[in-house]
Structure 1
């Protein structure tokens, strides 16, 4: 950790999320964006030059720099564990895109490394910083809807995502890629302990296109106290759908209900070619600056490092999401209820 009042930041990954991480770090008044690492190096170079930073195609070079205190990790889902562990061993605080890992064993190994290193670490479950989602948590905590007893969450994407946006869709599933955010939120809202999961998945369209992964997954999660949540993920919506993601959450309590529908985020645009609802919650550009939930999550971990605070998203809660998804995928294979490990 540098002794200056500003934090040196490195970004690992230069895709859509890494680009957002870099913009958020570069504009934070308490941080300096020092370097970007990515393969291929051309992506790192382009992003780094935009912000006057250095670049490399080897993240280990970035981790060896003494002027970097915090790294943001925005690599494909299945590549998180090794990079996060290397960052912790190098003494670098980190924030990693969701999910923490795609294996519960890897999550436990990584958490042990982080605890031994003493660094601050957080998964970027940035939906907790979306104003309406944060307000829903406050409403639930205040008892406005009584005790949560049931939840439903869906996050469904256009087919563009697994066929064009991601080159590694076959290395993941819509549940890992999409439901991780919703599972984090549902666990946050329900405030209980998930015990077991049963899931059903469909493989059809994407397999026929040469991408061996699920088209859609639905799962039911049983919590302690008899509470239940259903999560749904699908990424074969037609590209004509007006938003990239169809996202909805419902929380039913003993005394009320909360609906969170993100289909429309205040802006509607009609043109000759389409009717669209631009997404504004996660990473909008406002007056030339990166804002939204992603930037707020990056700002939060920077403040935690500089002020010795505790991250809102704990490693234990991130492990819980991975544990649910681990049981969910075990259920896809077994066809039966699977208890969380």
Structure 2
């Protein structure tokens, strides 16, 4: 399939949907938009010179997109995705912004409806497309830091109170990114989770979450906040040989030898795969990479990097976090 055959519709052109539309327009893949707010629809339609529709039904009556991005408010992700799947038989690729649904139950229903329709579906955990993550996985696979024992995720920033109703609590809004990454870095299976949180307008807005294996081989700590004056996204992984520090914003990784830190070895004695304390820089635009993954799926020569099952596993951690906060207890789960 040639690039000229790629026709992608963005459903919902608010904050995130507009970013998708802007990049798709630049790539030449934007076919149309669906937006119920007339003023927003007119503004975006004129800017990118594409037709706009107020409903999926109107879109289906006039266009035949082979790709759709669902970027509507969080609480209707699965509902709109189901409408898209049922009304657009031409669909080959579907990108659903995070979270894939408001609950595991909704996500499982969506998965069952898509099954057998030959629609390759991506969930918008865009951090997975950050080249820092693939670099971390490569370093872990090579055994460079030894066995991972402790991981600290920090994802902190600020969000206007007016947006809280449309984006949900901090766990489903930003937590799903780190939940997904954690499942890619560490062994899956039976886990234990405990969490505590602060609320704003009765919405979980800042939280610390501790996740461990049943046998205690590793511990993962998630520190997430939408009340931080600044922007911080880091992953620190402590292994039996070394510590790996990664900054997801600057896309810089640093390896620190544990033996050298303890004073057991001379600094000049290490090169795994770069010198102790040396920083390496990786390059990539996660959102653009995510869109190219969608294009590859539409063409039929690619597979989703973030699947519905990945979205479901992230939601399991979201629901376990909420349950722990509500009950004040440690929650056991299997992912």
Report the TM-score range of the alignment, normalised by the length of the smaller protein: 0.7 to 0.9
Tell me the CA shift for residue 14 of structure 1. 1.0
**Closer, same or farther in 2 for the Cα pair 1:131/1:65, shift >3 Å?**
same
* Cα offset, 1:294, TM superposition: 0.6
The number of residues matched between the two structures is: 301
1:304–1:194 CA distance, 2 compared to 1 (3 A): farther
Question: How many Å apart are 1:65 and its aligned residue?
Answer: 4.5
Following the alignment from structure 2 to structure 1, what is the Cα–Cα distance between the partners of residues 182 and 297? 24
Unaligned 5+ segments in structure 2 are 253-281
SS of the equivalent of 2:143 reads: coil
Deviations 1:273-307 (A, max 9, x none): xxxxxxxx99xxxxxxxx82111101111112203
TM-score normalized by structure 2? 0.82
Match of 1:96 in 2: 96
Q: SS of 1:252's equivalent?
A: strand
Summarize the Cα distance change of 1:143–1:265 in structure 2 as closer, same or farther, 3 Å threshold: closer
Are residues 1:329 and 2:322 paired? yes
The alignment status of 1:45 with 2:45, answered yes or no, reads no
How far the C-alpha of 1:212 sits from its partner, in A, is: 2.3
Distance 1:224 1:300, change over 3 A: farther
Go from structure 1 to structure 2 and tell me whether the alpha carbon gap of 1:142 and 1:17 turns closer, same or farther (over 3 Å shift).
Answer: same
Distance of aligned partners of 1:137 and 1:232 in 2 relative to their CA distance in 1, 3 Å threshold:
same
Within the alignment, does 1:340 sit opposite 2:333 as a pair? yes
Secondary structure of the residue aligned to 1:85 is helix
Q: 1:76 to 1:194 in 2, by over 3 A?
A: farther
User: How far has the Cα of 1:198 moved from its partner?
Assistant: 1.4
- Aligned-pair distance for 1:118? 2.4
8 A Cα contact 1:108 1:319, kept in partner:
yes
Among 224, 227, 245, which residue is 1:233 paired with? 224
How big is the shift at 1:264? Answer: 5.0
**Largest Rg, 1 or 2:** 2
Equivalent residue for 1:163, pick from 161, 185, 202: 161
Answer whether contact 2:10 2:33 (CA < 8 A) is retained. yes
Question: Does structure 1 residue 252 correspond to structure 2 residue 238?
Answer: yes
Tell me the residue number matched to 2:189: 193
| Match in the other structure for 2:57 | 60
Show the counterpart of 2:290.
Answer: 297
Note if contact 2:152-2:221 (Cα within 8 Å) is conserved in structure 1. yes
Which residue does 2:21 correspond to in 1? Answer: 22
**How many Å separate the matches in 2 of 1:230 and 1:114?**
34
Secondary structure of the residue that 2:226 maps to in structure 1? strand
| CA pair 36-257 structure 1, distance change in 2 beyond 3 A | same
Report the counterpart of residue 212 of structure 1 in structure 2.
202
Q: Hey, what does 1:130 align to over in structure 2? A: 130
Which residue number corresponds to residue 79 of structure 2? 82
Aligned to 1:287: none
- 1:60-95 deviation digits (Å, cap 9, x = unpaired): 323454421111111122111111122222343310
CA contact (8 A) 1:197 1:327 kept: yes
Which whole-Å CA distance do the structure 1 matches of 2:251 and 2:139 have between them? 20
CA RMSD of aligned residues (A): 2.5
CA distance in 2, matches of 1:110, 1:247: 30
Q: Structure 1 residue 142 and structure 2 residue 142: aligned?
A: yes
